[in-house]
Amino acid sequence: MAKPYSPFSGRVYDVQFDKIAAKIKGQMAALLKKTAESCLLNIVNHEPAPFLTGSYIASHRVGINAEDTSDLVFNDVGTLSLESARIRAMAELSKLENIKVDDTVYISNSVGYSTKYGYSWARNVEYQGWEGKKGGGRGSYLVYEQAALKAINDIPKHVQFIKVSGEGI
């Protein structure tokens, strides 16, 4: 025997829209996470590296809803290799694990929170470059500007990844 016809109720629509809204919100959080990861990786892996020691690369921090003001611990003896510095900086990605769509991600260079070094060389990397005596100096690297632009341009790729992988669902 056929089931009697019953029209959709408003409650059915509410439930359907609630499910759609939750799915979209999860996907937007996944997109925020993927974009922030991409931006940090663009900064950490910038070529050419602004410095041959790893202090600059290791000094990057990720903060969720507030800037991470922890400072890099400087080692006056020896240098940190680029590989070690990249591993240290990429450890910051773990902070993005439970990101929510309403969160704000701060990626910053921690150099300058200490009174020992200040922002002088970080400013040179980003904006003014160097007026060196040897070889006429070097221009600015614009690491953050280039990383942000690349991250924005990569959003369609991230959307496709989320769609294919089901991340955020």
Is 169 contained in some domain? no
Q: What is the pLDDT of residues 132-161, one digit of tens each?
A: 555 456 667 888 888 889 998 999 999 888
The token pair at 106 is 């701060």
Is 58 contained in some domain? yes
Task: Compute and round to an integer the Cα radius of gyration of the chain.
Answer: 22
Residue predicted with more confidence, 123 or 147: 147
Is residue 15 scored above 80 in pLDDT?
no
Domain total in the chain? 1
Distance between CA atoms of residues 147 and 110, nearest Å:
17
Q: How high is the pLDDT of residue 20?
A: 82
The burial of 115, by beta-carbon neighbours within 10 Å (0-12 exposed, 13-18 middle, 19 or more buried), is given as exposed
Domain that holds residue 36: 13-161
Residue predicted with more confidence, 3 or 33: 33
Is 4 contained in some domain? no
The burial of 53, by beta-carbon neighbours within 10 Å (0-12 exposed, 13-18 middle, 19 or more buried), is given as middle
Is 5 contained in some domain? no
Is 151 contained in some domain? yes
Q: How high is the pLDDT of residue 137?
A: 61
Is residue 62 scored above 90 in pLDDT?
yes
User: Among residues of the chain, what percentage have pLDDT more than 70?
Assistant: 71
